[in-house]
Amino acid sequence: MSLPQATVIHGKSEEILPTLSPASVDAIVTDPPYGLSFMGRDWDAAPPSEQIWQRALSVLKPGGHMLVFGGTRTFHRLGCAIENAGFQIRDCLMWLYGCSFPKSHNISKALDKAHPEKELGPVIATKVVCDSSKGGRPGFTGATHSPTFTRVKRVVEVREPASDEAKRWKGWGTALKPGWEPIFLVRKPCVGTVADNVRQFGTGGINIDGCRLPGDDPEGPMRWPANVMHDGSAEATAGMGAAARYFYSAKITAKDRGDGNNHPTVKPTGLMRWLCRLITPPGGTVLDPFTGSGSTGKAAILEGFHFTGIEQDPNYVTIARRRIDAELSEQRTW
């Protein structure tokens, strides 16, 4: 088997995908924009269009699979665009995690602020919160691309409601704490039967045995992989019973993220390795049209696959190449 090869192309997916050879990649694993304008980012204003997924379909081999992360508020739009582009939706995986913060609006507090007398209730507690900021309002970096994060701790006073209206709505907010992300598992239609397609193109199935999970008995049989993954946190596994029945990958660490990686949504390498392994045939090529800081590429190389990535932000291109090159060592040059 040849040594893994990797390249990260600087440019927009809608412009680069048409330049790739048709039916040239074996699998697509990607974490695209969710359409939530996360932390004020312009690039996250909308999920990828149907046209982008049509172009992704054209470069994927018949029977090839694609795994796509989405946001809980917008994955219906993502799924419709992918299906309308010609993919077959095979499943929707669930990535459970515990490290997150509710982005909720305190209605009681807002009512006190809007009250004509602007009364303030008595302080009942204080709490420390962390913001990502860069000379602007908390939570906004002040840059559309290539942000520099500064973690700022501040003390916030927790007050009892002052006005009667605010007291009535004490404890009411506008959002739940996020605890999972959907991942679409889709497939390009096969040519003929699955067996015909596998014989001709080497794609069409998923790697069940390569992604099995150890059971409670280390000497016992391995479990069939499920469509649920978790980060091992108490918040994610509470009430799950035997959490070992589902794929476990630790949450992202500073070492895994890498020095200078300021991308806001880096996924853990362990999770991305399992996803790449699930749908990519031996020696195959993984494509990520929304490479970000290169988590998919790093995972693909570690699994022995070739990798092609596309990323529009030059800062993230540099970070992705550095992370992937650290795994490739001297196996290739950019």
**The architecture CATH gives domain 6-99+177-328:** 3-Layer(aba) Sandwich (3.40)
Asked if the model's pLDDT at residue 137 lies above 50, the reply is no
For residue 103, which of 157, 36, 33 has the smallest C-alpha distance?
36
User: Please, which residues have CB within 8 angstroms of residue 171's CB and are 6 or more apart in sequence?
Assistant: 108
> What is the distance between the alpha carbons of residues 141 and 147, in angstroms, rounded to a whole number?
6
Q: What is the dihedral of CA 279, 280, 282, 284, to 10 degrees?
A: 170
- The arithmetic mean of pLDDT across residues 15-35, rounded, is 96
Confidence at residue 135, expressed as pLDDT on a 0 to 100 scale = 36
- Domain positions in the chain are 6-99+177-328, 107-168
pTM here? Answer: 0.86
167 confidence band (pLDDT: 50, 70, 90): very high
Written as six digits, the tokens of 194 are 């699955």
Residue-wise pLDDT tens digits, 269-325: 999 999 999 999 999 999 999 999 999 999 999 999 999 999 999 999 999 999 999
Confidence at residue 38, expressed as pLDDT on a 0 to 100 scale = 59
Residue-wise pLDDT tens digits, 77-102: 999 999 999 999 999 999 999 877 77
Report CA-CA distances (Å) from 225 to 34, 168, 217, 249, 283.
26, 48, 16, 14, 22
Asked if the model's pLDDT at residue 132 lies above 70, the reply is no
- The arithmetic mean of pLDDT across residues 108-123, rounded, is 82
> What is the distance between the alpha carbons of residues 190 and 53, in angstroms, rounded to a whole number?
17
> What is the distance between the alpha carbons of residues 323 and 318, in angstroms, rounded to a whole number?
9
Q: Which residue has the higher pLDDT, 9 or 258?
A: 9
